[in-house]
Amino acid sequence: MTTTLERPAPDKQAGGAPMIDRAEGWRRRAPLLPALIFTIIVTQIPFLLTIFYSLQSWNLVRPGSQSFVWFQNYADVFTDSQFRQVALNTVVMTLGSVLIAVALGLVLALLLNRQFFGRGVVRTLLITPFLITPVAAALLWRTVLLDPTLGLVNFVLSPFGASGTEWISEFPLASVMAALVWQWTPFMMLLLLAGLQSQPTDQLEAARVDGANSWSIFRELTLPHLRRFIELGVVLGTIYLVNTFDTVYMMTQGGPGVASANLPFYIYQRAFLGFDIGQSAAMGVVVVILTLIAATFALRLLFRTFSGEEEAA
Amino acid sequence: MAEVVFDQASRIYTPGAKPAVDSLDLTVADGELVVLVGPSGSGKSTALRMLAGLEPIDAGSVRIDGRDVVDVPSKDRDIAMVFQNYALYPSKTVAENMAFPLKMRGMDKEERGRRVRQAAEMLGLTDFLDRKPKAMSGGQRQRVAMGRAIVREPQVFLMDEPLSNLDAKMRVQTRAQIAELQNRLAVSTVYVTHDQVEAMTMGDRVAVLADGKLQQYATPPELYDRPTNAFVAGFIGSPAMNLLDLPRSSTGVTLGGVEVPLPREISDAAGSRDRITVGIRPEDWVLESTDADAGSVIKAVVDVVEELGSESYLYAHLAEDTSTSIVVRGPGRVKVRFGDPIAVRPNPEALHVFDVETGQRLP
Amino acid sequence: MAVTTSTPPDERTPDTAEGAPEPRRRRGNAVDVWLGVIAWVVGIAFFFPVFWMVLTSFKTEADAYTPTPKIIFEPTLEQYEGVFSSGIGPYLANSVGATVISTLLVLLLAIPAAFALSLRPVQKTSDVLFFFISTKMLPVVAAIVPIYVVVNEIGALDNIWTLIVLYTGMNLPIAVWMMRSFFLEVPGELLEQASIDGAPLWRTLREIVLPIISPGIFATALICVIFAWNEFFFAVNLTAANAGTVPVFLVGFITSEGLYWAQLSAAATLAALPVVIAGWVAQNKLVQGLSFGAVK
């Protein structure tokens, strides 16, 4: 073979000189290997260890307590009513925040996808919440915004008779979700804005010439075009938000009780406050399995998105 | 200088599937400009890329100046290529772009500068040497790409649809410039295009490809006058030749209910076939008076008139057989319009006849 | 606050999107103006908490705690002095160290990998790509226990290099995908031309490919910076006083000092500021990074 740099095309090498294929294959693989090996070590080995630990009874505060108990931890997890509550919380928190953020993001993207004075500034203002360190954002919500007596939210709502509402303790899950939605709406907005701007102008012009009004253009052309981007937003938002930890930790500590705890926080509590390695590992495995089920579905959606991209490229 | 030979050269993307280029035999004489032309998917670009070393040669061989280049990497084949999108390095100025291949060959700076200036002068690029490609028009970029090929003083120029990104006027202008430049430099050139007008106007010889196979390799007049099969006949010439699948009669063929006699040698070559494909170029119809005797002329009804000023083309369907359409060249300022009847007669001396099944020319 | 505006990714002519279909100019303009005003109002509403945080950070505690929020007050830097004197310095240094070093490592690993998955692709490219993406689908919580145990065993708790390794692993998949999408934007013709010109591979990469993808490298780096800087879960579980990062400092700060809003706002502003600036600069590329290059 020559020193040709080839584009990714199907079976480019298939007919080529087979003698050199092997060496060439390794030469091509070499730049990839460090990243691949690093990723396997850092991300895969811990998961394998998790499975191993999950079969043991092991509490860090009782040295020497380590023993093999097979599936006892799993049995405990499934009979743990708190765990079920927390799992439900996680679903509500993740999907609720993602869907609200996507809906709001869509409205904002539509607003921003038009020419007006200072559009760049407005966009910059809008994305800022997404950039604020989540720990700082959670602090901000917990104190300055949602404080029952001195918080801005109650101050703004006081004309409507809402003063004195103890948001964090009365509506802990909703409070956490409000902070998450505030942080993630900007991302959805950016994603959907990119979607809107990738819509060919001539399609819209053709529709207008055909006599469609703005609502029917939106419903018949823009929304189908955005579908892929909305799906992508939901999938990506879910991937990132299912791991939410900082916001719960800083705003409510999962409380009261486990009313606002999600799985990351609950496992953290078990592992680092309860020091129960076996239990928390078993929960981790359960979470992985649940996530894998969701991810298979998500990957299928994503695959369509990515392979669509490849074809267009 | 160099002769380029494709010797049974094949490119097979997937084993077992149809080759992209199938046993191509082609010789480009020293200093000749050969155009590879064909529809998309015909294998013309693949053939060029095999010569460039951008695609492997899976079977057969390719020789440049007698040297088999199958295992020779691109850079050692002593070729220069002009790409469809010009492939100018965006981070380099015009001068740097043109000097880059020389630099990679270790040429000293002075000689590089001399050659770049010389080529720039030839192409009218002297004022643009310090510009980046981004700041230039399409035509200028095209010339830079040409310049980068010229400075190499290679044995062979390869051009892959170099004019397809230019507007119509620029294309005609540049077409002439490239042909003139190639003539002056006398470097063997292989030029790929899908545009048969480009092929006919530029090529010393033209190779017509379809489905990875060479259909015909000949000079432009010969391609036009004696197309070797129905594909070439239909591909070369605009508007395309009328290709009509007609039943034989005792002395010739029947067209629109009229006996069209065939010259003796064609008739002999057609042998005992019941049907043959008859090709008639638009200019090989003779327009007759519509009053003429029904047995001697073919009646047709005009669908569209293309008036070009110096001439016109009449698109019509036969009165007897409305599913058969023909194109007839008429004089400029022709008086007929949509729906008018016309009467035509083919010039029997200019008929092309092909086998219905194989498309091969008879005789 | 100095707002650095950046131009939208794609300047388009007005009325290209849905909306304002009215052929009569005047009515269209009125609608446009109103929608523009609404956009401004929403933008300010979203930004307001941030603005308020920054404002509060310049207040005295007395000004911060008023039943009617105060906009007019005498600004003071005493909160910032307080934050610095309470020892944010080492935490800032840790954050900078972990962020910068992990980002450099990510680029070092991701650029060759992306090259091997784009311009000169290995076999099974898509399998490898999906392996990378799938690592982001697995929840971090499930790995934290063994990570803690292993890190503890090898005595690397509260060590900045532990965070660097983990942050590198965390950002690598995103960077590989993103860099790959930049590599794919390099026209194939250019590489073919370079190979005909006789440029060796490393020279092609350095002189031709690198200048084209350098904006992409910059954007990728900024996105890695954002994630590493904001990361909290690993930091809070694996570090303490020695290797703690700024988010860890924030947590310690409120527990040791209690909730003093003005001071807390100053600390939060300091924590958020570097990433906010990085994000403003990289806003056009944020989506590309977060979506693994699926959206350009």
Cβ distance B89 to C195 less than 8 Å, yes or no, reads no
DSSP B69: -
Task: Tell me, yes or no, whether A31 and A152 share the same domain.
Answer: no
Tell how strand B33-37 and strand B205-210 pair up.
Answer: parallel
Cβ distance C112 to A32 less than 8 Å, yes or no, reads yes
Distance from CA of A54 to the nearest CA of C (A): 10
- Residue C241's CB: how many other CB atoms inside 10 A? 12
Residue A80: left if φ>0, alpha if ψ -120 to 50, beta else—which one?
beta
Task: Tell me, yes or no, whether A128 and A49 share the same domain.
Answer: no
Position C231 scores a pLDDT of 93
The residue out of C78, C99, C115 marking a domain boundary is C78
Query: Which pLDDT band holds residue B307 (cuts at 50, 70, 90)?
Result: very high
pLDDT in tens, A56-66: 877 776 766 67
CA distances (Å), origin C264, targets A135, C231, C252: 12, 19, 11
- Half-sphere exposure in the Cβ direction for B2 (13 Å, CA): 20
Nearest CA in chain A to B13: A15
Contacts A39 to C, Cβ<8 Å: 131-132, 135, 169, 172-173
Cα B63 to Cα C122: distance, rounded to the nearest angstrom:
31
In 3D, which of B86, B146, B139, B104 has the Cα closest to residue B121?
Answer: B146
Task: Tell me, yes or no, whether C104 and C222 share the same domain.
Answer: yes
Average pLDDT over residues B2-17: 90
Contacts C65 to A, Cβ<8 Å: 150
pLDDT in tens, B24-34: 999 999 999 99
Task: Tell me, yes or no, whether A180 and A279 share the same domain.
Answer: yes
Position A15 scores a pLDDT of 39
Cβ distance C197 to B104 less than 8 Å, yes or no, reads yes
Task: Tell me, yes or no, whether C264 and C189 share the same domain.
Answer: yes
Q: What is the mean pLDDT of chain C?
A: 84
Tell how strand B156-160 and strand B188-193 pair up.
Answer: parallel
Average pLDDT over residues C192-221: 90
- Residue B127's CB: how many other CB atoms inside 10 A? 9
Task: For residue C41, tell me if it sits in a domain.
Answer: yes
Token pair listed for B177: 């410039």
Of B79, B91, B105, the CB nearest to C212: B91
In the three-class reduction of DSSP (H, G, I as helix; E, B as strand; rest coil), residue B302 is classed as strand
pLDDT in tens, B221-248: 999 999 999 999 999 998 999 999 999 8
Position A173 scores a pLDDT of 93
Position A3 scores a pLDDT of 38
Report the alpha-carbon angle A92-A95-A99, nearest 5. 130
Task: For residue C17, tell me if it sits in a domain.
Answer: no
Task: Tell me, yes or no, whether A124 and A39 share the same domain.
Answer: no
Cβ distance A232 to C295 less than 8 Å, yes or no, reads yes
Distance, C-alpha B284 to centroid of its chain: 22
Task: State the distance between the two ends of chain B, measured CA to CA, in whole angstroms.
Answer: 38
Cβ distance A16 to B58 less than 8 Å, yes or no, reads yes
Of A3, A11, A15, the CB nearest to B56: A15
Average pLDDT over residues B277-302: 88
Contacts A4 to C, Cβ<8 Å: 192, 195
Nearest CA in chain A to B77: A2
Give residue B137's identity as a one-letter amino acid code: S
Residue B63: left if φ>0, alpha if ψ -120 to 50, beta else—which one?
beta
Give residue B231's identity as a one-letter amino acid code: F
Residue with tokens 């070439």: B232
Residue C27 has pLDDT above 70, yes or no: no
- Residue B59's CB: how many other CB atoms inside 10 A? 15
Contacts B54 to C, Cβ<8 Å: 192, 195-196
Position A13 scores a pLDDT of 38
pLDDT in tens, C101-155: 999 999 999 999 999 998 888 888 888 888 888 888 777 887 888 888 889 888 8
Of C21, C132, C261, the CB nearest to A213: C21
Position C82 scores a pLDDT of 86
Position A312 scores a pLDDT of 39
Distance from CA of A10 to the nearest CA of B (A): 8
Point out the least confidently predicted range of A289-303, C171-185, C267-281. A289-303
Task: Tell me, yes or no, whether C211 and C286 share the same domain.
Answer: yes
- b (16+ CB within 10 A) / e for C160-193: bebbbbbbbbbbbbbbbbbbbbbbbebbbbbbbb
Distance from CA of C191 to the nearest CA of B (A): 8
Task: Tell me, yes or no, whether A120 and A90 share the same domain.
Answer: yes
DSSP B85: T
Distance from CA of A300 to the nearest CA of C (A): 11
Q: Does B26 touch chain C (CB under 8 A)?
A: no
Q: Can you list the domains of chain B with their CATH numbers? A: 4-235 (3.40.50.300), 242-362 (2.40.50.140)
Average pLDDT over residues C236-265: 84
Residue C10 has pLDDT above 60, yes or no: no
Q: How many contacts, defined by CB atoms under 8 Å, are there between A and B?
A: 34
Contacts B74 to A, Cβ<8 Å: 2-4
Q: Does C230 touch chain A (CB under 8 A)?
A: yes
Of all residues in chain B, what percent carry a pLDDT higher than 70? Answer: 99
Of C139, C232, C293, the CB nearest to A246: C232
Token pair listed for C45: 């509403």
Task: Tell me, yes or no, whether C183 and C258 share the same domain.
Answer: yes
Q: Does B90 touch chain C (CB under 8 A)?
A: yes
Residues belonging to chain B: 363
Position A256 scores a pLDDT of 85
Average pLDDT over residues B121-145: 92
Q: How many contacts, defined by CB atoms under 8 Å, are there between A and C?
A: 373
The residue out of C78, C97, C116 marking a domain boundary is C78
Average pLDDT over residues A82-102: 92
Among C190, C193, C208, most B C-beta atoms within 10 A, so best to mutate, is C193
In 3D, which of B206, B204, B198, B179 has the Cα closest to residue B238?
Answer: B198
Position A269 scores a pLDDT of 87
The residue out of C50, C78, C106 marking a domain boundary is C78
Point out the least confidently predicted range of A260-269, C59-68, C117-126, C224-233. C59-68
Contacts B76 to C, Cβ<8 Å: 198
Return all residues near B199 (Cβ < 8 A) that are at least 6 apart: B35, B37, B193, B206, B220, B236
Position B113 scores a pLDDT of 93
Of C113, C168, C275, the CB nearest to A133: C275
Q: Domain range for residue A279?
A: 74-312
Residue B15 has pLDDT above 90, yes or no: no
Residue C97: left if φ>0, alpha if ψ -120 to 50, beta else—which one?
alpha
The CATH number covering residue C253 comes to 1.10.3720.10
Task: Tell me, yes or no, whether A41 and A129 share the same domain.
Answer: no
Query: Which pLDDT band holds residue B64 (cuts at 50, 70, 90)?
Result: very high
Distance from CA of B159 to the nearest CA of C (A): 12
Cα A297 to Cα A291: distance, rounded to the nearest angstrom:
10
Task: For residue A168, tell me if it sits in a domain.
Answer: yes
Task: Tell me, yes or no, whether C96 and C226 share the same domain.
Answer: yes
Q: What is the number of structural domains in chain A?
A: 2
Of A47, A122, A271, the CB nearest to C138: A47
In 3D, which of C240, C239, C231, C236 has the Cα closest to residue C275?
Answer: C231
Give residue B45's identity as a one-letter amino acid code: S
Residue C47 has pLDDT above 90, yes or no: yes
Average pLDDT over residues C83-90: 87
Average pLDDT over residues C271-293: 84
Q: Domain range for residue C116?
A: 81-290
Position A302 scores a pLDDT of 63
Task: For residue A1, tell me if it sits in a domain.
Answer: no
Task: For residue C187, tell me if it sits in a domain.
Answer: yes
Task: Tell me, yes or no, whether C39 and C172 share the same domain.
Answer: no
Of all residues in chain A, what percent carry a pLDDT higher than 70? Answer: 86
Residue C228 pairs in a beta bridge with none
Position C108 scores a pLDDT of 95
Residue C214 has pLDDT above 80, yes or no: yes
Task: Tell me, yes or no, whether C130 and C206 share the same domain.
Answer: yes
Task: Tell me, yes or no, whether C33 and C152 share the same domain.
Answer: no
Task: Tell me, yes or no, whether A298 and A153 share the same domain.
Answer: yes
Task: Tell me, yes or no, whether A30 and A91 share the same domain.
Answer: no
Position B109 scores a pLDDT of 93
The H or E element spanning position B244 is: strand B242-247
CA distances (Å), origin C11, targets A194, C182, C252: 12, 21, 45
Q: What is the number of structural domains in chain C?
A: 2
pLDDT in tens, A120-137: 899 999 999 999 999 999
Position C61 scores a pLDDT of 83
Query: Which pLDDT band holds residue A83 (cuts at 50, 70, 90)?
Result: confident
Q: Chains with ≥3 Cβ pairs under 8 A against C?
A: A, B
Position A18 scores a pLDDT of 41
Position C130 scores a pLDDT of 83
In 3D, which of C216, B78, B52, C295 has the Cα closest to residue A6?
Answer: B52
Task: Tell me, yes or no, whether A152 and A43 share the same domain.
Answer: no
Average pLDDT over residues A255-282: 85
Residue with the bigger pLDDT between B199 and C136: it is B199
Of A1, A3, A16, the CB nearest to B75: A3
Task: State the distance between the two ends of chain A, measured CA to CA, in whole angstroms.
Answer: 26
Among A4, A49, A91, A131, most C C-beta atoms within 10 A, so best to mutate, is A131
Task: Tell me, yes or no, whether C74 and C88 share the same domain.
Answer: no
CA distances (Å), origin B247, targets A289, B242, B251, B260, C129: 73, 16, 11, 11, 61
Task: Tell me, yes or no, whether A34 and A154 share the same domain.
Answer: no
Task: Tell me, yes or no, whether C109 and C67 share the same domain.
Answer: no
Q: Does B234 touch chain C (CB under 8 A)?
A: no
Cβ distance B58 to A1 less than 8 Å, yes or no, reads no
Q: What is the dihedral of CA B99, B102, B103, B105, to 10 degrees?
A: 170
Computed on alpha carbons and rounded to an integer, the radius of gyration of chain B in Å comes to 25
DSSP B135: G
Task: For residue A199, tell me if it sits in a domain.
Answer: yes
Cβ distance A11 to B75 less than 8 Å, yes or no, reads no
Cβ distance C17 to A114 less than 8 Å, yes or no, reads yes
Position C256 scores a pLDDT of 65
Q: What is the mean pLDDT of chain A?
A: 82
Contacts A240 to C, Cβ<8 Å: 290
Position A301 scores a pLDDT of 66
The CATH number covering residue A251 comes to 1.10.3720.10
Average pLDDT over residues B142-159: 93
Task: For residue C103, tell me if it sits in a domain.
Answer: yes
Task: For residue C8, tell me if it sits in a domain.
Answer: no
Position B190 scores a pLDDT of 96
Q: What is the dihedral of CA C72, C78, C79, C83, to 10 degrees?
A: 170
Point out the least confidently predicted range of A221-225, B343-347, C121-125. C121-125
Cα A255 to Cα A248: distance, rounded to the nearest angstrom:
9
DSSP B152: T
Contact (Cβ atoms closer than 8 angstroms) between residue A285 and residue A50: yes
The H or E element spanning position B47 is: helix B44-52
Task: Tell me, yes or no, whether A28 and A163 share the same domain.
Answer: no
Query: Which pLDDT band holds residue C164 (cuts at 50, 70, 90)?
Result: very high
Cα B240 to Cα B13: distance, rounded to the nearest angstrom:
32
Task: Tell me, yes or no, whether A135 and A259 share the same domain.
Answer: yes
Task: For residue A65, tell me if it sits in a domain.
Answer: no
Token pair listed for A31: 């730049």
Task: Tell me, yes or no, whether C229 and C86 share the same domain.
Answer: yes
Task: For residue A32, tell me if it sits in a domain.
Answer: yes
DSSP C121: P
Cα A94 to Cα C131: distance, rounded to the nearest angstrom:
24
Task: Tell me, yes or no, whether C220 and C283 share the same domain.
Answer: yes
Residue A291 has pLDDT above 90, yes or no: no
- b (16+ CB within 10 A) / e for A28-59: beebbeebbebbeebbeebbebbeebbbbbbe
